[in-house]
Amino acid sequence: MTIAEKLPPLPDWLADLLPHLPFDWPAVLDVDRTLILAIFVVVYAGMILGGLPRLMLDRAGVALLGAIAVIGLGEMTPAQAAAAIHLPTMLLLFSFMVISAQMRLGGFYSTITRFIVALRLSPLVLLAMVILIAGALSAVFSNDIVCLAMAPVLAEACLRRRLDPVPYLLALACASNIGSAATLIGNPQNMLIGEVLSLSFAGYLDIALLPVLLGLVALWALLAWPARHGVLLVDPEAAQLASMIRDVPRFDAWQTFKGLAVATALMLIFLLTDWPRDVAALVAAGVLLLSQKLHSSKVMGLVDWPLLILFMGLFVVNHALQDSGLTQHAMTWLGTQGLDLGDPATLFGTTLVLSNLVSNVPAVMLLLPAATDPWAGPMLALVSTLAGNLLIVGSIANIIVVDAARQCGIKIDWKQHARVGLPVTLVTLAITAAYLVWRPL
């Protein structure tokens, strides 16, 4: 029995008043829907704030408590909550976390970063190389892991060459976001969109590749001028350099080859077969866990468990909202106000705003019910990912790079990021909008 069934009916005066209010309030203001709406509002307020005031909670903790509240208040049974979690998305996300962990423990990311910085290239060419490598790796592996592994090594290598590391670190963050938009495995929100909407891997790649490549070129052009003034006047201290790379794993040729071989095989499977992506990726993760050298606990230690919990919590909360009918009520009401999410321009703008307000994964979960047309899925994936460059908090990759820079004694504040992130976001979204108009999906 739900809470609504345990409470007395509404007073007559309130029952008479409700039909005269806008937005179908009689359907909204029953107790069950009110509770679900309250939980939803609190959870998404936590997504905006990064937690809840006076409580030691991050976004994952808020989403988890929201799911617990839905179950605890009797709005969903544990079995219904479990069914609300989209298992293929969770399996795909977990599997690629394992694959990325393999590459990181094998020293691949750090080695390739040192290699490109050690090349005798001009600052502008080096900047192009960083953008190219970060974008390409993020299209196949998790962009967050790429940034986590490359940022400290890139900072240390730039300082050794007496280059200002800030433009290169910003290039790493922005390029990883842009590059991850190229495929349905480049970031968590694209995995979610691809699995829930059953998008073709090859079909999406065909749509996204050109705007992503043009976006990477635009990023280089926007960063090229500041990077010309990249020579430091003071040599960094040896102790500072040593502290930057103390946790960087050594290069292991076999583990790196194993990870690259599995990743290449997966890409071919995704492109050439109809084998379910979640199953193929899970098998690949299992193959990598069969190791005589890398203990499974080390690999599992690099899995982003809070992100998995965030996904599960949001799945439950959003499913409860959708089952209550409130999502459909809201979309119908917005349509009467001239804000039709079935319109490409409206969905484009709404995705941009929400992705920077609540972060891209919660925004995508909220907007997925509106993605009913063939063009909606690719647009949602491209815009939600590219919008992440606007603000530091718009993408986990940005936060990782800024935090890694801070630990290396390099300050990147919101103004420095915005001077790059704002034009990069506007230009890449303009490229995407023009491309989608030129090539209707």
Name which residue leads in pLDDT, 354 or 232. Answer: 354
pLDDT band of residue 395 (cuts 50, 70, 90) is confident
Q: What does pTM read for this prediction?
A: 0.84
Domain boundaries, the chain: 87-304+338-438
Q: Tens of pLDDT along 104-144? A: 888 888 889 888 888 888 888 999 999 999 999 999 987 88
What is the reported pLDDT for 263?
Answer: 92
What is the reported pLDDT for 428?
Answer: 96
What is the reported pLDDT for 406?
Answer: 84
Q: Tens of pLDDT along 273-317? A: 989 999 999 999 999 998 888 888 888 888 888 889 988 999 999
What average pLDDT does range 58-77 have in this prediction? 92
Name which residue leads in pLDDT, 419 or 396. Answer: 419
What average pLDDT does range 67-88 have in this prediction? 93
Q: Tens of pLDDT along 170-186? A: 999 999 999 999 999 99
Name which residue leads in pLDDT, 173 or 7. Answer: 173
Residue 265, pLDDT above cutoff 70? yes
Q: Tens of pLDDT along 314-364? A: 999 999 988 888 777 777 777 777 777 888 888 899 899 888 888 888 888
pLDDT band of residue 438 (cuts 50, 70, 90) is confident
**Helix (H), strand (E), coil (C) string for the chain:** CCHHHHCCCCCHHHHHHHHHCCCCHHHHCCHHHHHHHHHHHHHHHHHHHCCCCCCCCCHHHHHHHHHHHHHHCCCCCHHHHHHHCCHHHHHHHHHHHHHHHHHHHCCHHHHHHHHHHHCCCCHHHHHHHHHHHHHHHHHHCCHHHHHHHHHHHHHHHHHHCCECHHHHHHHHHHHHHHHHCCCCCCCHHHHHHHHHCCCCHHHHHHHHHHHHHHHHHHHHHHHHHHHCCCECCCCCCHHHHHHHCCCCCCCCHHHHHHHHHHHHHHHHHHHHCCCCHHHHHHHHHHHHHCCCCCCHHHHHHCCCHHHHHHHHHHHHHHHHHHHCCHHHHHHHHHHHCCCCCCCHHHHHHHHHHHHHHCCHHHHHHHHHHHCCCCCHHHHHHHHHHHHHHCCHHHCHHHHHHHHHHHHCCCCCCHHHHHHHHHHHHHHHHHHHHHHHHHCCC
What average pLDDT does range 17-26 have in this prediction? 54
